[in-house]
Each structure stands twice: as structure tokens, then as C-alpha cells.
């Protein structure tokens, strides 16, 4: 039996519909809340990478005041990247999504606390602080 292009497209559509409507995320996390998590984690990742580059440069110049910020932003990036991927896949169980969202919110708050010390002096720190606060709020809404 030969599989045609039409068969592949139809099969992909059926698979996609199954993932979209049969996923476990449909529990209580509304589409808008999950979308907010996806958007806020993406923003946090973008600003966090800028912050990490800034911390690395400052540490390279001997400014050890950025050590705590550097460590926390690395942890935040790992959590946000995981949350971003899981939220985008849409196949997580309710328990897993909530646990990850809670952990991500905690990590974002920790990072924001570290950014607070530097936000008045460095624009990149202020941007990361704001993104982390927004992401923590979005994650708490589904945790």
C-alpha cells in the first residue's frame, strides 16, 4: 500500500486534533491563562539571557556583586525553559503542570529579588525584574 501526500496530511490533522482536544491540560488552566504563561516565560527567557550576559560581563570585570544575580538568573532560565516547553506541548497532566508552574513562580521570584538590588543602576536588570514578576504572576494563576 502506497501512502499518498493526502494520507499524510489527513493523518497529521487527526493526530493534531487528538493532541489538541485529548491533552490533559484542559483541566482548569484556561487557554488564556496558559497563553499568558507561554508569553511570559518567553519574555523571561529573553530578558534573562540578556541579564545573564550582563552578569557574566560584570563578573569578568571583577564585580562580584553580580554573583547572586548570576546564579538566580541561571536557575530561572532553566525553570522558564521547562515551563515554556511543557505549556507549549499541551500534554502535561494537571498535577505536573501545576507543580512546574509553582516551581517556576518561585524561581522567578528569587530572580526578581536578586534583580531588585541592581534595577536602579542597570536597565537590563530592571527589564529582567519586570519580566520575572509578570511570569511569577502568570504561573501562580495556574499553579
Give the pLDDT band of residue 30 (cuts 50, 70, 90).
Answer: confident
pLDDT at 70: 97
Give the pLDDT band of residue 7 (cuts 50, 70, 90).
Answer: low
CB 129 within 8 A of CB 102: no
Predicted TM-score (pTM) of the model is: 0.79
Q: What is the pLDDT of residues 59-95, one digit of tens each?
A: 999 999 999 999 999 999 999 999 999 999 989 999 9
**In the chain, which residue ranges form alpha helices assigned H by DSSP?**
5-22, 31-60, 67-89, 94-116, 123-142
Report how far residue 108's alpha carbon sits from residue 88's, in angstroms, rounded to the nearest whole number. Answer: 19
Would you identify the CATH topology of the domain 5-142?
Substrate Binding Domain Of Dnak; Chain:A; Domain 2 (1.20.1270)
pLDDT above 90: residue 31: no
Contacts by 129-134, CB closer than 8 A, 24 or more apart: 130/47, 131/40, 131/43, 131/44, 131/46, 131/47, 131/48, 132/44, 132/47, 132/48, 132/76, 132/108, 133/108, 133/109, 134/40, 134/43, 134/44
- Domain spans of the chain? 5-142
pLDDT at 29: 57
Q: What is the pLDDT of residues 81-137, one digit of tens each?
A: 999 999 999 899 999 999 999 999 999 999 999 999 999 999 999 999 999 999 999
Torsion from C-alpha of 82, 76, 29, 12, nearest 10 degrees: -20
Question: Angle at Cα 91 formed by Cα 87 and Cα 97, nearest 5°?
Answer: 55
Amino acid at each position: 500500500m502506497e501512502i499518498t501526500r493526502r494520507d499524510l496530511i489527513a493523518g497529521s490533522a487527526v493526530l493534531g486534533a487528538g493532541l489538541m482536544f485529548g491533552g490533559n491540560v484542559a483541566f482548569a488552566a484556561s487557554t488564556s491563562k496558559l497563553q499568558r504563561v507561554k508569553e511570559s516565560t518567553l519574555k523571561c527567557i529573553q530578558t534573562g539571557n540578556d541579564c545573564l550576559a550582563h552578569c557574566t560581563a560584570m563578573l569578568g570585570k571583577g564585580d562580584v556583586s553580580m554573583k547572586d544575580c548570576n546564579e538566580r538568573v541561571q536557575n530561572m532560565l532553566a525553570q522558564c525553559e521547562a515551563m515554556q516547553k511543557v505549556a507549549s506541548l499541551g500534554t502535561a497532566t494537571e498535577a505536573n503542570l501545576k507543580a512546574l508552574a509553582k516551581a517556576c513562580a518561585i524561581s522567578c521570584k528569587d530572580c526578581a529579588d536578586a534583580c531588585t538590588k541592581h534595577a536602579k543602576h542597570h536597565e537590563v536588570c530592571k527589564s529582567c525584574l519586570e519580566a520575572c514578576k509578570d511570569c511569577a504572576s502568570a504561573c501562580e494563576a495556574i499553579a
